[in-house]
Amino acid sequence: MKGALKTRSEERPQDVQNEKQNFSTVFLLVQLVVVLAAIGGYMLYAKRGHTDLQWWKTSVIYQIYPRSFKDSDGDGIGDLRGIISKLDYFQYLNIKAIWLSPFYTSPMKDFGYDISNHTDVDPIFGTLKDFDDLVKESHSRDIKVIIDFVPNHMSDQHPWFQESLKGTGKYRDYFLWSDGKSSFGMRKPPNNWLGVFSGECWRWNEQRKQYYYHAFVKEQPDLNYRNPDVVKDMNDVLRFWMERGVDGIRVDAIMKLFESENIFQDEPRSNRPDVPAFQYEYLTHIHTENLPEIGDVVRGWKKVMDEYEAKDGQSRFIVVELYDPPAIRNKYYDYGAMPFNFDLVEGLKADCGGNCFMEAISNEYDNLPAGEWPKFVLGNHDRKRVSKRFGVESVNVMNMLLLTLKGTPTTYYGEELGMEEIEVSFEETQDPWGINFGKERYTEFSRDPCRSPLQWDASSQSGFTSSSKPWLPVNPGYKTCNVQVQKKKKDSSLNIYKSLATLREAPAFQDPDVQFAVVNDNILSYVRGTANTGRYLVTMNLGHDSSTADYTNEPANAKSGRVVINTENFNEAKFNVGKSVSLSSLTLKPGQGLVLKL
């Protein structure tokens, strides 16, 4: 009969297909509504005068290692044009700032940290026009550009060092030179200092008949910042890049900028067990790290950047690299810079769960100078990937931690996918740090495994390059772990990361303090937000056992919460986005995390 209802068996295939499509559309709309509702209070929040946070406080910063991001010309090495071709990827992820590791002219003895021209682009990465286009295209997408600033050392091929070799003129004392000392008729370096990559850090130069100091590889002589001309010239380098529209700098190896004026002082033993005499950690670096003179130089950089902020009203950003506790790193706030907090990268034990994570995070918050802003990071080009340190199953929950804490998060490329490290034989090892330790110990120190090419799709070389031999091998698991595949899966690491990066723009995740809730050997949880901004419970199992807890007490003070984001580790329907969850007895498995709207 016309208009009669059809039974399931009477439905036509097209009807079934339409029903599936309708269901899929409704499901996606529910997800969208939940996320939009989470940030929907932003306009109201803005009207109340809470829009004074600088861009670097509200942005996720994404570190690009240019060699490994995207190759545009088929030579097997990533480049600036490759980055430009993928800028829409950052819009997809809701990334508002990118940080580029060095792309400057270099002999590549330390992959670009040995710079031979601070004001040009190495041909393997492109040209200055390519860089200008990158800045222009990034800014057109509301993406800020941060560059690596490498002030401590440069290549021995740099014109300044080549002039210094002559021992005359302006550049004579641009570097640390010494006649050394004599012992029983033998010429020796002036002290016992060690290089960061281990071994002697004084190198005899036959042309000048003196030793020069290098904190890193021998092809990277250290600049002498006690020479005011060095300070001025490096300030001018900074001005060069500010003129090209750069929004901020990440300062490399800031702790090494100065050495004691009396270079004939030895550094004392650290007395650390099982550390050989040639290894950097064998000594305590009282004469070569974090000397107070660094402060005035950093203040000078801040002054340069303030000049440009005064011109266009755009805030500029300085973040510095040093692996030190709050008592040391927090001094850099006084200098005008923000220090990285590497406590989540180093120092956490293998069995670390909720309690020790809270201890590390509280250590940052409790010691933060009044009015300052923290900066958390989980990895970078020098440290093992998250999947290696915490396990593949914990990638999503670690990204949840990073993106929901108070502070500016920095993500190393590929962590949004849960990329795993590659295996590199000693014969194929390129990293000088690994090579210095020889075949027996190179795996402890080589940084090659965490620098493999980004996995874009399932095509040859994962879409990174058209070359048959990229500079480092692509991870063999690229066919199932890549951007293209993960974009299509709602519960992929990539899309969970995207949801977290979007949610982080909600007022609740910007400036209110973190209020710790249930914390035990497995669980770390906290509440973000206020009654005005909306309140969220973030709960994560960072341990090794399932854990059941009651979250209804303060600071949650709620009987239930609605799921906004789920790490999706176990595909449990009760934790689907939009579901209401009781807080009186909530069980999470290891590696599982939830963001709940209270």
Q: In Å, how far are 294, 298, 303, 319, 339 from 334, measured between CA atoms?
A: 11, 10, 13, 13, 11
Q: Cα–Cα distance between 376 and 560 in angstroms, integer?
A: 30
Quote the DSSP letter at residue 106: -
Q: Per the residue annotation, which of 156, 252, 343, 416 is the catalytic one? A: 252
- At residue 8, the 3 state secondary structure works out as helix
Q: Per the residue annotation, which of 321, 420, 431, 448 is the catalytic one? A: 321
Residue 65 neighbours by CB under 8 Å, 6+ apart = 78, 101, 381, 412, 413, 451
CB 89 within 8 A of CB 136: no
Residue 226 neighbours by CB under 8 Å, 6+ apart = 258, 261, 293
Strands of 514-579, DSSP E: 515-519, 523-530, 534-541, 547-549, 560-566
CB neighbours (10 Å) of residue 459? 13
Of residues 330, 433, 319, 320, the one with CA closest to residue 382 = 433
CB 99 within 8 A of CB 61: yes
CB 575 within 8 A of CB 32: no
Q: Cα–Cα distance between 123 and 106 in angstroms, integer?
A: 9
- At residue 137, the 3 state secondary structure works out as helix
Q: Which two tokens stand for residue 154?
A: 């440069």
Quote the DSSP letter at residue 206: T
Q: What does the H/E/C string look like for 273-306?
A: CCCCCCCHHHECCCCCCCCCCHHHHHHHHHHHHH
CB 426 within 8 A of CB 393: no
Q: Cα–Cα distance between 80 and 69 in angstroms, integer?
A: 9
CB 539 within 8 A of CB 519: no
Q: Which two tokens stand for residue 596?
A: 């709940």
Residue 287 neighbours by CB under 8 Å, 6+ apart = 191, 193, 259, 260, 263, 265, 267
321 is catalytic: yes
Of residues 320, 318, 290, 292, the one with CA closest to residue 305 = 318
Of residues 367, 373, 449, 450, the one with CA closest to residue 405 = 373
Q: In Å, how far are 333, 541, 556 from 518, measured between CA atoms?
A: 32, 11, 10
Q: In Å, how far are 54, 89, 479 from 93, measured between CA atoms?
A: 20, 6, 21
Of residues 217, 221, 222, the one with CA closest to residue 254 = 222
Residues noted as catalytic? 252, 321
